[in-house]
């Protein structure tokens, strides 16, 4: 789904038979709060680690309460190190299953990490920017 060209919340509801999703990991909560609220299922959780569209969104408390939604607000570098390491292990295990559905927008070798960051900051990409620690720019 391309959230830039279609109503992402409507598509989520279509795909889930109107139920919504259990979990959302949100990178622009202020900009996407309405879509999150429409997309999250009853008793779902929204993990928020950025809010570029609106740094201080007005929270519709009663609407989130009616969904019995959990908002998990976080900054990655202050999360406990054990939790971050467990998350890394979980992600690697998931990737090893071969069921990952991420589109790769660009891939950079480790020594071009700064270029990878610039690619993310530029915006407009569809997919994930990957830094490949096993690759070398000289290869």
Predicted pLDDT of residue 139:
46
Q: In this predicted model, what pLDDT tens digit does every residue of 94-106 receive, in sequence order?
A: 888 877 677 889 9
Residue span of the structural domain in which 133 resides: 102-139
Q: Are residues 62 and 97 in the same domain?
A: yes
If one counts the domains in the chain, the total is 2
Predicted pLDDT of residue 137:
62
Q: Are residues 12 and 62 in the same domain?
A: yes
Q: Report pTM.
A: 0.70
Pairing of strands 128-132, 104-109: parallel
CA 51, CA 54: separation in Å to the nearest integer? 6
Q: Are residues 18 and 38 in the same domain?
A: yes
Indicate which CATH number applies to the domain containing 49: 3.40.50.720
The set of residues, in sequence order, having a beta carbon less than 8 Å from that of 81 and lying 6+ positions away, is: none
> Considering the domain boundaries, does residue 77 fall inside one?
yes
Predicted pLDDT of residue 2:
73
| pLDDT < 70: residue spans in the chain | 100, 135-139
Among 75, 5, 67, 6, which Cα is nearest to 36's?
A: 67
Q: In this predicted model, what pLDDT tens digit does every residue of 61-71 receive, in sequence order?
A: 999 999 999 99
């Amino acid at each position: 789904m391309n959230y830039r060209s279609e109503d992402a919340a409507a598509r989520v509801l279509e795909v889930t038979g109107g139920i919504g999703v259990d979990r959302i990991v949100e990178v622009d909560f202020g900009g996407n709060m309405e879509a999150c609220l429409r997309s999250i299922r009853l008793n779902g959780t929204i993990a928020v680690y950025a809010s570029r569209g609106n740094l201080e969104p007005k929270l519709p408390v009663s609407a989130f309460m009616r969904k019995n939604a959990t908002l998990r607000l976080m900054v990655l570098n202050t999360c406990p190190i054990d939790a971050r390491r467990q998350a890394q292990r979980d992600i690697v295990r998931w990737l090893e299953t071969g069921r990952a559905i991420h589109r790769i927008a660009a891939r950079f070798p480790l020594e071009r990490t700064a270029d990878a960051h610039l690619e993310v900051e530029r915006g407009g990409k569809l997919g994930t920017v990957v830094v490949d620690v096993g690759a070398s720019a000289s290869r």
